[in-house]
Structure 1
Amino acid sequence: MRAAKFQTWGNDLNETQQLWEWREKTANLYYEVRSSPDVVAAWGLWCDTRSTLFRDHPQSPIESADRKTFEGPTTFSYDPSFRLTVQLVPVTPERITVATGVDGDLSMHAFSRTTGLEARLGGELTLYWIEGYGGGVFLPFVDATSGTETYGGGRYLIDTIKGADLGVVRSDGALVLDFNFSYFPSCAYSSRYVCPLAPSGNRLKGAVRAGERLAVWKG
């Protein structure tokens, strides 16, 4: 599967329209990922399309002065052992509120917790529902690579409000979590952003060497 070919009209749009376009392209990308029967090819499409967006789109989290030399988010090689099937169990709907800078406070509540990750990754993860109009599923995590090989604040695996949706719970109640698609929040790239980070219960003892990783580039 080749990288998606698209035209970006962002420079001709106002800031809100640019953001709308960025969200549309992200949602379309994840649709292509979910629809593909070839997981590794879908991951390649994900990597290539994100690189293009980060380099060329005006809503990129990369600072403008660095975009021409930015080659794209760096990732570990695809590792099928980090594509894991878990069951979800209900949890007490704990509510969390976090500050997100000029965007105000963000409230979310826990609604499910995984079972099936402990043996492989040394912990389980809680899924959160972001409250407010429409809402959305949010799954951040920190692991043993955080702060050394990956961003210290952790990574996101699912954020449906932003279009990062790898799929829904299967009919048998299972959920496939593919950590090869985990990525840094925007605040990893720029101080212009204040991002919600992984709660203390979403810390894995194991090292998740899959998905986005740290890299040094010359601006």
Structure 2
Amino acid sequence: MYLDLYDYRLRVQAMYRERNQAIPAGEDAEMVWQRFRQSRDTLFAQHSQSALDAEQRRVFSGLRYFPYNPTLRFAVTIETDVEPQRQTITMSSTEQMTMLTVGRVRFAVEQEPVTLHIYWLDIYGGGLFLPFRDLTCPEEAYGGGRYLFDTIKGSDWLPVPGMAHQQQIMLDFNYAYNPSCAYNDAWMCPLAPRENQLRVPLRAGELRYK
């Protein structure tokens, strides 16, 4: 089991690494996205650590997405002058998770200003985490919201071409994905805090599974 989980995370990291190398190299962004989707579908369909259970994998025919939307890609600067607010999330009767606010990003969707906060998860050695919920939830996207990256699990942001500094990043919502709890009740997941629940629709990325 543990070696399988390690293998799964390595495969996720490889998917994001391939994407992050292909986009700055000038490959067509939509084709890179299609290739990424195919790799993710393969993992969901075949890997023992898939978020899908055995019966779901047996009938699985692919994850559903909004059409590719190049307007929902934003080059942003991570602002780190934020109050380091610590939040404890109850996952179950025996499990909790702590998140610390470490940054925020600002952009505009159809001229509507948007602010999202970035968190540090205090588990497994720590990692950066960006959950969000928008107005496509729950009719189109999963009602609990989606993730843009969770570096503990191998998902990551895109680099901004020509920028080496880690505070300059690309948020591409075509890669927004559902938490594991969107697929079946075997999973428990941290969801977007109130400050990351947006009053705009982000019609890109993964659709509701059920």
Once residues 133 and 190 of structure 1 are traced to their aligned partners in structure 2, the CA distance between those partners, rounded to angstroms, is 23
Match of 2:13 in 1: 27
1:204 aligns with 2:172: no
Match of 1:9 in 2: none
Match of 2:97 in 1: 106
What RMSD in Å do the two structures reach over aligned CA positions? Answer: 1.9
Match of 1:5 in 2: none
SS at 1:81's partner residue? helix
- Which of 92, 103, 119 pairs up with 1:128? 119
Aligned residues: percent identity?
A: 37
Structure 1 unaligned runs (5+)? 1-14
Once residues 124 and 47 of structure 2 are traced to their aligned partners in structure 1, the CA distance between those partners, rounded to angstroms, is 27
SS at 1:124's partner residue? strand
Match of 1:190 in 2: 184
Instruction: State whether residues 111 and 127 of structure 1, in contact with CA within 8 Å, keep that contact through their aligned partners in structure 2.
Output: yes
Count how many residue pairs are aligned between Structure 1 and Structure 2: 202
The CA deviation at 1:87 is 2.4
Structure 2 unaligned runs (5+)? none
The CA deviation at 1:34 is 0.4
TM-superposition CA deviations, 1:31-65 (whole Å, max 9, x none): 00100032222211211011111111111111211
Match of 1:49 in 2: 39
Query: Under a length normalisation based on structure 1, what TM-score does the superposition of the two structures give?
Result: 0.85
Structure 1 residue runs of 4 or more that deviate by more than 6 Å after TM superposition? none
1:141 aligns with 2:135: no
Instruction: State whether residues 121 and 205 of structure 1, in contact with CA within 8 Å, keep that contact through their aligned partners in structure 2.
Output: no
More strand by share: 2
Instruction: State whether residues 75 and 212 of structure 1, in contact with CA within 8 Å, keep that contact through their aligned partners in structure 2.
Output: yes
Structure 2: which amino acid aligns with 1:41? M
The CA deviation at 1:103 is 7.5
- Which of 64, 67, 70 pairs up with 2:57? 67
